[in-house]
Amino acid sequence: MVDYCAFGWILAAVLGLAIALSFFVSPRRNRRGGADSTPRSEGVRSSSTTNGECRSVDGDADVIIVGAGVAGSALAHTLGKDGRLVHVIERDLTEPDRIVGELLQPGGYLKLIELGLQDCVEEIDAQKVYGYALFKDGKNTQLSYPLEKFQSDVSGRSFHNGRFIQRMREKAASLPNVRLEQGTVTSLLEEKGTIKGVQYKSKNGEEKTAYAPLTIVCDGCFSNLRRSLCKPMVDVPSCFVGLVLENCQLPFANHGHVVLGDPSPILFYPISSTEIRCLVDVPGQKIPSISNGEMEKYLKTIVAPQVPPQIHDAFIAAIDKGNIRTMPNRSMPAAPQPTPGALLMGDAFNMRHPLTGGGMTVALSDIVVLRNLLKPLKDLNDAPTLCKYLESFYTLRKPVASTINTLAGALYKVFCASPDQARKEMRQACFDYLSLGGIFSNGPVSLLSGLNPRPLSLVLHFFAVAIYGVGRLLLPFPSPKGIWIGARLVYSASGIIFPIIKAEGVRQMFFPATVPAYYRSPPVHKSIA
pLDDT recorded at residue 335: 87
pLDDT digits (tens, 9 = 90+) for 472-528: 999 888 999 999 999 999 999 999 999 999 999 888 888 888 887 777 776 655 444
Q: Show the domains of the chain with their CATH numbers.
A: 63-124+159-234+332-381 (3.50.50.60), 236-330 (3.30.70), 406-509 (no CATH)
- pTM greater than 0.85 (yes/no): yes
Burial class (CB in 10 A: 0-12, 13-18, 19+), 117: buried
Q: How remote is the C-alpha of 434 from its chain's centroid?
A: 23
Q: Which residues pair with 89 in a beta bridge?
A: 66, 181
**Distance (Å, whole) CA 503 – CA 496:** 12
pLDDT at 151 over 60: yes
Question: Distance between the two ends of the chain, CA-based, in angstroms?
Answer: 71
Q: How confident is the model at residue 11 (pLDDT cuts 50, 70, 90)?
A: very low
Mean pLDDT of the region 415-435:
96
Query: Cβ–Cβ contacts within 10 Å for residue 444, how many?
Result: 23
pLDDT recorded at residue 228: 87
pLDDT digits (tens, 9 = 90+) for 87-133: 999 999 999 999 999 999 999 999 999 999 999 999 999 999 999 99
Query: Cβ–Cβ contacts within 10 Å for residue 372, how many?
Result: 11
Spell out the alpha helix ranges (H) of 174-293.
none
**Distance (Å, whole) CA 369 – CA 269:** 30
* C-alpha separations of 427 from 140, 274, 291, 305 in Å: 14, 33, 34, 20
pLDDT digits (tens, 9 = 90+) for 252-281: 999 999 999 999 999 999 999 999 999 999
